[in-house]
Amino acid sequence: MGVQWSGKVQVFIVVIEIILLLTFFAIGFNHVDYTLFVPFAPTGIEGILAAALVGFLSMVGWDGIVASAEEIKNPTWTIPISIISSILIVMLLYIGLLFVSVGVVPWTELGASKTPVFLASEQILGGIGPLLINMVIVIALPATANPFILCISRTAFAMARNGLLPRRFSHIYSQYNTPVWAIILGVSIQILFTINSSINIAVSATGFLYIITFIFTLVAFFISRKKTTDIDQDQQFKVPLYPLLPF
């Protein structure tokens, strides 16, 4: 029941967020000044690489799908499709947001602003623009916290069940069939980071750790693909273009 309810809430929140973003894109597209895209990379490749670490965080989170594998029907097929589709959807949304923002405000002004998207929305919609972006942010907060709590608690539950954490974290609350102590652990970790961490340090550290984690994950994918038997491969989801995509 707990995962089903959490999933329904997540879908509802994300749908509202996407509708608001698409509204912003649709209105902002007509205000784009294409001369602002020239030169395309005024600071060269160095500027792109400098922003890549922080920008990388915009494309993470899909690994949480894997942590919930035991809660998913037919995970062998559902998980890869969910990961690929979520990456594509998020990528398109961010491209749209960046395209409109850079197309209505010079990059020098965006770079100097602490709230560049607010600045772009104000150029497009006037005073209602920042209000719309605030709505997206408020909606995005639970949309971000909810899956991370699920991911952390599900991982802690599995580790406790396998003896890698205290058994208390594998305790299931009978009324809702949820790992209550594992959920409390996940919520506590998020609260501690929110209270005690500098946002810049937290973002940079998280981005760096994600990159390190993904490097080892990709290496594991290559090894797994090579060692999997032909019979098992026929029963699993296989992404084409191997080894460019090592699934």
The C-alpha atoms of residue 245 and residue 247 are separated, in whole angstroms, by 6
Residue 217 main-chain phi, psi, to 5 deg:
-65, -45
pLDDT over 60 (residue 246):
no
pLDDT single digits (tens) 180-225: 888 888 788 778 777 766 666 666 666 677 778 778 877 887 887 7
Contact status, residue 223 vs residue 244, Cβ threshold 8 Å: no
Mean pLDDT of 108-117: 84
* 150 CB neighbour count, 10 Å cutoff: 23
* pLDDT confidence of residue 186: 79
Burial of 123 (0-12, 13-18, 19+ CB in 10 A): middle
Q: With cut-offs at 50, 70 and 90, classify the pLDDT of residue 18.
A: confident
In DSSP notation, 88-101 reads HHHHHHHHHHHHHH
Mean pLDDT of 87-93: 87
* pLDDT, averaged across the chain: 80
pLDDT over 80 (residue 119):
yes
Q: Which residues contact 134 (CB under 8 A, 6 or more apart)?
A: none
Residue 57 main-chain phi, psi, to 5 deg:
-65, -20
- Size of the chain, expressed as the number of residues it contains: 247
Dihedral angle, C-alpha 97, 102, 108, 113, nearest 10 °: -30
Q: What is the pTM of this model?
A: 0.72
